Amino acid sequence: MKHTFVLLALLATAFSMLGCTSAPPATTQLPAATQPAVVTISTQPTTAPATEAAVPSKEGGTLLVAITSDPGHFNPSITTGFTTHVVADSMFNGLVGLDENLQPIPDLADEWQVSNDGKTYTFHLHPGIMWHDGTPFTSADVKFSFENILLKFHSRTAAGLTPVLDKIETPDANTVVFHFQVPYGPLLQRLDVTEAPILPQHIYQGTDPQKADANLKPVGTGPFKFVEYAKGDHVTLEKNATYFKKGMPRLDKVIFKVIPDANAALQALQKGEVDYSWATNESQMKTLQGSPGITTAKAAASPGGSFCINTFAFNLEHPPLDKVQVRQAINHAIDRQRIQNQIHFGFGKVATGPISSRMSWFYNPNVTKYDFDVEKAKQLLDQAGVKPGADGARLKLVFPHPTTFNKYGELIREQLGAVGIQVQDAPMDFNAATDRVFVKRDFDLAIVSFCNGPDPEIGVRRVYDSRNIKPIPFSNGAAYKNPRIDELFDKGALTIGNEQRAPSYLEIQDILTKDLPYLWFIETEGTRAHRSEFHDFQNWTGHFAEYAWTDNPK
Amino acid sequence: MSPSLTRYMFRRLAQVLPILLGILAVNFVLIHLAPGDPIYLLAGDSGDAAYYAAMRAKYGLDQPIVNQFVLYLWNAAQGQFGYSFAYTRPVFEVIGARVPPTLLLMGSSLVLSISIGLWLGAVAARRANSSVDHVISVGTLIGYGMPAFWLAQLLVLVFAVRLGWFPIQGMVDLRAAYQGAPLVLDILHHLFLPMLTLTLLHLALVTRLTRTGIRQEQGEDYVRTARAKGLAENQVQQRHAFRNALLPVVTTVGLQIGMLFMGAVLVEIIFAWPGLGRLLYDATLNRDYPLLMGIFLSVSLCVIFANLVTDVIYTFLDPRVKFT
């Protein structure tokens, strides 16, 4: 008996001790392109990216990929989680893909048209595509995937499309038509393999997609086929010899190996135990850049989020944070350049506002900027009436954050301390921090990696729209209310064509950088590393190995 | 089996059910009290309230905690332990796949740390206060005092990265894809460093207990009697002193099973060993309630079983202890 209670105590301790550092998969998505307002017909052929040199690619070989967490299952349509997508995306396709600049390119659909009123999208599917089990792929699979799975279980697709989508029609086996209730601008941005992977109707019909056996024995249309899953250890995929993209894939096998510890993954890559790493962090990139036989790469997107900005939320319900001078003062007190250098090792870019500069078609460079200026910060605090108290502190702010942001915690405590703001920083695991900030609202300052997604409608609106002040994660945590902002987001979504949509988003950035309900630190970027004998990875997407090849196929 | 032993076992087994119920209740409350929410895993980061509410309802997370617990017990009584949120599969299917690697890692470390610990302890006791004794004591204490993650990293750096004798991570060489006997050798090759880490962590305790136990017993009357009978020193030590000194070791090792499992969590993470410890870690981060409950239940059962075995072994070692 006694022994049992000892165990209980241990488990209880374990529970509290296991505060950890898994990086939150944030918004995932890849953008779509400048869509002309009227009828658009894409006629781009499906082409491989230009090879790095004039060296002809080789066929065959095995790629060993380090991933940080066990994928659990391979149904990419019921989750937005990075751990499932990073493996499963190679086995599936979306209607459209996204190129390096996150512009739409053909995937399952060869071409598409948008009606003049922006309410109807028609997709023409590539003919002759087969599922891995040999069954022909048809438009019925697309309709089924959206209606029965994506619109119910893929959180971003469900949230984004359900309110606006009218119906999906399949006039013939190779045509899919999306009808919207309103003109809908961002559709092409949300149809790639991460946002809307297409599943086989003949396998999933009549099952609960969240418990289906096929989740562990996936059948897709993608470049690689499922072979084996050793839970917690590895997943083996092999080449889909009948893949519809001519000559692809080139590799015979891709094996994903779960290596949870970042150092172990780094050492395994250096020693050649693995060939490609999704687990490389910024500090390791410096080490790897000098390593012989290793190639490093950066990417603004991944199946775990695109165009992400590390962002401070001010709790506007907690005075004096409701005063704009106080928020301006904090903006002046933060040395973003030092954060980029010391925390991100120079990677990424200092952010200027809520929309990433890499979403160049909507980015506004001419916004109000706040230079690092300690004296100005103190003046602004004086003006706001926030004067030093008996202990020298002007203000005490509680800053709960996930342990992944521990270094931010330290630097911010120091930098705000210099202007008399005492920061009580409280590190906790990601899940607990999310709960405390968004649900319990027990914070003054909070930090979140908000990913724009490929479109502001997907990842930006939720953070600033006053109708999204709710006790749910990744909502408008600052509790910022501005009817003009809400109106501009509505306008941006209901307009067709990026050029026509841009003015709304430019104005949004102008207003937000004056109101400062949030503070934008750094536009972060994804870091990848791989053995140099491998080439032509698409580092920004879950289809990263679709075109990859190696010098030494065994 | 003697009738008294049978009766004893029966009574002990009858206690298992109420103990398990208690464990389930405490754990259930514990994981629901801990801050956090599985909804972040289930519903992603869309920031859409209606969607979160729908997922909560689908998984019964909108019910009061008492209802959730009663429902859990009701289903558990029928052998239904639910589906893991992260794996979308029945809980024990997920756990089952992770048990063999952990058993291999923990079992081999346990055997090693006990056998080496007993031997070192006996050597240290016999040559108490000699330089050998000091080396053993200090050496094992250093192993005991080192944080698991640090010791593991050190061993990797020296034996895997520098010397290249062992692989850095994993349980098998995925490139080679061995079968049969070479596969067994490959697994042992991968097992060595994580096993060594866990063994070093637990060696000190067994060594210390054995040494102290033997030293204590050496002063007892029966040892003097044995010597007076003219028994050889080896026999005095092994037959008499050592056997009695084992008693506290057996008790402690039984208790240590839970500790060993906690150590295995860290070691499994660092060496990318696909075991139960890492599953517990991931399930905790995700607040994967059904899976957490399943793991707690499995580990509790193991510990209860280990304690039962400990008690039975104890009665064999010490005839003074009787089953009642």
Nearest by Cα to A6 from B74, B92, B259, B40: B259
Chain center to CA of B77? 26
Question: What is the ipTM metric for this complex?
Answer: 0.81
Q: How far is A232 from chain B (nearest CA, A)?
A: 5
Joined tokens for residue A246:
């001519």
Grade residue A55 by pLDDT with cuts at 50, 70 and 90: low
- Is A75 in Cβ contact with B88 (below 8 Å)? yes
Rounded average pLDDT over A333-353 = 94
Q: Read out DSSP for A463-488?
A: HH-GGG-SSSTTS-TT----HHHHHH
3-class DSSP assignment, residue B274: coil
CA distance A384 to A378: 10
Grade residue A33 by pLDDT with cuts at 50, 70 and 90: very low
Chain center to CA of A551? 31
Q: What are A518's strand-pairing partners?
A: A313
Is the residue at B39 inside a domain? no
- Is B171 in Cβ contact with A7 (below 8 Å)? no
Joined tokens for residue A400:
């709960």
Grade residue A10 by pLDDT with cuts at 50, 70 and 90: very low
Is the residue at B146 inside a domain? yes
Torsion of CA A282, A283, A285, A286, to 10 degrees: 130
Can you give the residue range of the structural domain that contains B121?
A: 102-274
Rounded average pLDDT over B145-158 = 89
Nearest by Cα to A481 from A466, A470, A494: A466
- Is B48 in Cβ contact with A155 (below 8 Å)? yes
Cβ of B289 under 8 Å from any chain A Cβ?
no
Q: A515 with A37: CB under 8 angstroms?
A: no
Return the percentage of chain B with pLDDT > 70, whole number.
98
Return the percentage of chain A with pLDDT > 90, whole number.
65
Q: How far is B48 from chain A (nearest CA, A)?
A: 6
> Which residue in chain A has the smallest CA separation from B279?
A232
pLDDT tops 90 at residue B310? no
Grade residue A497 by pLDDT with cuts at 50, 70 and 90: confident
CA distance A253 to A353: 43
β-strands A62-67, A253-258: how paired? parallel
Joined tokens for residue A3:
């022994």
Please give the pLDDT value at position B33. 83
- Is A473 in Cβ contact with B47 (below 8 Å)? yes
Condensed to tens digits (0 to 9), the pLDDT of residues A251-301 reads 999 999 999 888 899 999 999 999 999 988 888 888 888 888 999 998 888
Rg (CA), chain A: 24
Q: How far is B116 from chain A (nearest CA, A)?
A: 25
pLDDT tops 60 at residue A15? no
Q: A346 with A340: CB under 8 angstroms?
A: yes
Q: A541 with A301: CB under 8 angstroms?
A: yes
Rounded average pLDDT over A382-403 = 92
**φ, ψ dihedrals at A529, nearest 5°:** -145, 145
Question: What kind of architecture, by CATH, is found in domain A2-58+75-211?
Answer: Alpha-Beta Complex (3.90)
Residues 209-238 (A) with a CB less than 8 A from some CB of B? 210-212, 215-216, 230-234, 236
Residues 135-154 (B) with a CB less than 8 A from some CB of A? 153
- Residues sharing a CB contact under 8 Å with residue B61, sequence separation 6 or more, in sequence order: B37, B38, B39, B55, B68
B310 contact residues in A (CB cutoff 8 A): 3
Cβ of A365 under 8 Å from any chain B Cβ?
no
Rounded average pLDDT over A45-61 = 61
Q: Report the half-sphere exposure of A109 (CA within 13 A, side-chain side).
A: 29
Please give the pLDDT value at position A16. 36
CA distance A221 to A200: 9
Cβ of B35 under 8 Å from any chain A Cβ?
yes
Q: Report the half-sphere exposure of B125 (CA within 13 A, side-chain side).
A: 26
Residues 272-301 (A) with a CB less than 8 A from some CB of B? 273
H/E stretch holding A205: none
- Is A260 in Cβ contact with B269 (below 8 Å)? yes
A252-261, B44-53, B192-201: range with lowest mean pLDDT: B44-53
pLDDT tops 70 at residue A31? no
Q: A521 with A535: CB under 8 angstroms?
A: no
Grade residue A42 by pLDDT with cuts at 50, 70 and 90: very low
Q: What are A125's strand-pairing partners?
A: A109
pLDDT tops 60 at residue B43? yes
Nearest by Cα to A327 from A54, A512, A53, A118: A512
Q: A217 with A85: CB under 8 angstroms?
A: no
Return the percentage of chain B with pLDDT > 90, whole number.
24
Please give the pLDDT value at position A390. 87
- Is B45 in Cβ contact with A259 (below 8 Å)? no
Return the percentage of chain A with pLDDT > 70, whole number.
90
If you count residue pairs, one on A and one on B, with CB atoms under 8 Å apart, how many are there?
A: 216
Residue A261 one-letter amino acid = D
Q: A95 with A191: CB under 8 angstroms?
A: yes
pLDDT tops 90 at residue A178? yes
In Å, what is the CA distance from B56 to each residue of A133, A151, B43, B60, B91?
35, 16, 9, 6, 19
- Is A64 in Cβ contact with B269 (below 8 Å)? no
Residue A382 one-letter amino acid = D
Grade residue B1 by pLDDT with cuts at 50, 70 and 90: low
pLDDT tops 50 at residue A209? yes
Please give the pLDDT value at position A29. 33
pLDDT tops 80 at residue A53? no
A263 contact residues in B (CB cutoff 8 A): 153, 156, 270
Condensed to tens digits (0 to 9), the pLDDT of residues A344-361 reads 999 999 999 999 999 989
Of residues A215 and A102, which shows the higher confidence score?
A215
Mean pLDDT of chain A: 87
pLDDT tops 50 at residue B118? yes
Residues 3-62 (A) with a CB less than 8 A from some CB of B? 3-4, 6-8, 10-12, 14-16, 18, 20, 22, 24-27, 62
* Burial per residue of A150-164, b for 16 or more beta-carbon CB atoms within 10 angstroms, e otherwise: bbbbbbbbbbbbeeb
Condensed to tens digits (0 to 9), the pLDDT of residues A505-514 reads 999 999 999 9
- Is B51 in Cβ contact with A155 (below 8 Å)? yes
Q: A395 with A437: CB under 8 angstroms?
A: no
pLDDT tops 70 at residue A210? yes
Q: Where do the domains of chain A lie?
A: 2-58+75-211, 214-303+528-550, 305-523
Residue B139, domain CATH: 1.10.3720
Nearest by Cα to A340 from A315, A372, A318, A313: A372
Condensed to tens digits (0 to 9), the pLDDT of residues A139-171 reads 999 999 999 999 988 888 888 888 899 999 999
pLDDT tops 60 at residue A17? no
Of A14, A26, A73, the CB nearest to B88: A73
CATH 3.10.20.340 fits A214-303+528-550, yes or no: no
Condensed to tens digits (0 to 9), the pLDDT of residues B252-271 reads 887 777 778 878 888 999 99
- Residues sharing a CB contact under 8 Å with residue B194, sequence separation 6 or more, in sequence order: B105, B152, B267, B268, B270, B271, B273
Grade residue B324 by pLDDT with cuts at 50, 70 and 90: low
- Is A20 in Cβ contact with B49 (below 8 Å)? no
Number of domains in chain B: 1
Residues 460-479 (A) with a CB less than 8 A from some CB of B? 462-463, 468, 470, 472-475
Sheet with A445-451: list strands edge to edge: A349-350, A518-523, A308-314, A445-451
β-strands A253-258, A234-239: how paired? antiparallel
Is the residue at B112 inside a domain? yes
DSSP letter for B164, please: -
CATH class of the A305-523 domain in this structure: alpha beta
Whole-structure pTM value: 0.84
Is the residue at B293 inside a domain? no
Please give the pLDDT value at position A275. 96
Q: How far apart are the first and last CA of chain B?
A: 14
Is the residue at B119 inside a domain? yes
Please give the pLDDT value at position A32. 37
Q: A30 with A541: CB under 8 angstroms?
A: yes
Of residues B241 and A19, which shows the higher confidence score?
B241
